[in-house]
Structure 1
Amino acid sequence: MTTSDFDAFRPPEPEGRRRRGGARGTGQRRRTSGGDGGREMPMVPEVEFESYYGRPVVKAPPWGEEIPAYLFLGGVAGGSALLAAGAQFTRRPRLRRNSRLSALGAIGVGSLALVADLGRPERFLNMLRTFKVTSPMSVGSWILATFSVGAGAAAAVEVDRMTGSRLPLGPLRSLLPTVDVGGGIWAAVLGAPLAAYTAVLLGDTATPTWNAAHNELPFVFVSSAAMASGGLALLTTPTDETAPARVLAVLGAAGDVAASKVMHRNMDPVVAETLHHGKVGKMLRASEILAVVGGLGAVMGGRHRGVAAVSGLCLLGSSALTRFGIFEAGIESAKDPRYTIEPQKRRLAARRAAGITDDSITTVR
């Protein structure tokens, strides 16, 4: 007889059951309506399916801590590019400069984190070999690449200004006015898609928490990006030019709290547990508190340099905790089959209660 690692999960066999090479159990042979009448059929109790030996139903993504770092930094970069464009058209040179440099720095470090998770740089380049509009990863890779070009060009103009036009650009210097305007607008246009596509990418997976929140997750991520970029500008820019940053930070904080509340309410109550309990629950509660504190600080004390800096740190911390918390909740939800099976059962019961019996799901009628 062979043994298996799964033997410990098997229920004990009833006494009297016929074993191969052994004697028959005493008593009259039983037959079932499903048998052929010529052999004994095992009598098994009705069981309720949960998962195969209690194993996870879906496979958790093999992503490390670099991915939530990229989610956070991508949002900072997108929001900063949008803020820089606003500063450019409202003639706030220091806010424009700091926001452009922040956008390039954030997307640069975020891209390094993404490549570190991929393992080899050429894997990211391979994703640019094709463009598939139905694939969030393909579309997102192109958004990231093209955004980086615009953000890099706009930041290069700022570096040239900071060095007193001493960069060795040669004949390219005549193009700087065009790059100054075009690069900034290009990065600003792609800023919101950069902040949102990662939410679409997560929601498109089978991971229970992310999939259950796919409708609200883009609003959470975009609001979080606005909050973080506004907070970073409050931290790096003198208060006499931070009025647009204060507005963006407050709108982002309010939107983040509101969208998170709606997301929690609309999710399946079982799956929503992953956002409320344990380490993730603490992270998301702290994120909400920091968002409220940072938003109030931006409104009431944003003209005071110290208060503005503290508010900016709170808003950045809130955004980071939101991204890391949602990421961790998704990973944990994939490990427990309960978060996959119970919502499926509830959705099936709702369809049957509505009289839908001709779909593709097999059920006992």
Structure 2
Amino acid sequence: MKSTTENWGGRATLMVAHCAGMVDLVALPVWVGVLISGYGLDPQQAGGLATLFLLGAVSASLLVAPRFARLPARATAAAGFAIAALAFGAVGMVDGYMTMAVLHVVAGLAAATALSVTHATIGASGNPHRLFAIVGFALGVFGILFMGGVPKIVAAVGAPALFRCFAGIMAFAACVAALGFPEAPAASAVTQRSGAKLPRAVWLAAIGVSCMALVQAMMFAFVERIGADRSFGAGTVAGVLIALGFVNLIPAPLAAFLQKRVNPRTVLVCGPVVQALLALLMTQSQTFVPYAAGAMFFAAVMIFTHTFAFGLLAALDPSGRAVGATPAMLMIGAAVGPILGGTVVKLAGYQSLGFAAVLIAACAVACFMPRRAANAVLSQR
């Protein structure tokens, strides 16, 4: 039987591809930490390498998404992950900063090429909202396994082991994609829709998602530092981060369950508001319980809201171009967020992060407000 988005063989392949392509979302704190502690880089150099990976990913997503209908999905996904595996493997074998920088860019370009094809294929499925929730749940499980195992491997074997683990993840995804990447809808059907101009609501929704991703990255980069600054204790803060991983298993299945029970416009408008309130809870409170509550549920809001946003974009643009650009929407925020957050903290302290989050969330709400976008989703049900 051919692998498609409507059978579990194809869905399992998309789950693996989503986890591999989104590895930065899970591994970024460990990634930067290993570059500093294991390779002796300063924070700016370490952050620069991660940013280069993300910039490569954004560039690839913007290039691939408009051309999805003309690309062989299986070959593109498999080749992208294979090249990323080679690049990460090479990073684990070199020491020169410039060489590592070039390899990070190559890895970002290759991994995001495969991820863009993955997201476009999900967007062209029969129920993009539900399928994106499924792969989102898989990413949550992957995150727990990664954080539970990889840091221990790195501690036992050494810093290069991190990049060998990345290479192994990408190589596994390449093999899985080569064997069972699902077929997209008939090329003619997609191509007929791909030449149309993207509606204004698509651009607004994409900007809204990018704003939420910016707030997510800006705050998440400093969750541990906020706790340390308020003397909550390293072990206590680590416990919060572990709990956060398990909480993140909830929002994707919940979004799938509520797909036909909740007005999507309500979710899209309320998501940034809740995100901003949790940011204020973390940054303004001087006691542990409010800080912990805000930190544990902060990422879950993004996961839940983005699942509805993905369904919205798939409904507004059935060609797959908009959802194919999902990595760009998310990784622009991931690349800018830590730098912006660090600047805000340097100028005005950790409490100012919450107010910055409120301003950015207001922009996201303004983008999600138009009723036409929500009506497009409702019409697809």
Q: TM-score, normalised by structure 1?
A: 0.30
Greater helix share, structure number: 2
Q: Whose Rg is larger?
A: 1
Bigger relative contact order (CA 8 A; separation at least 6): 2
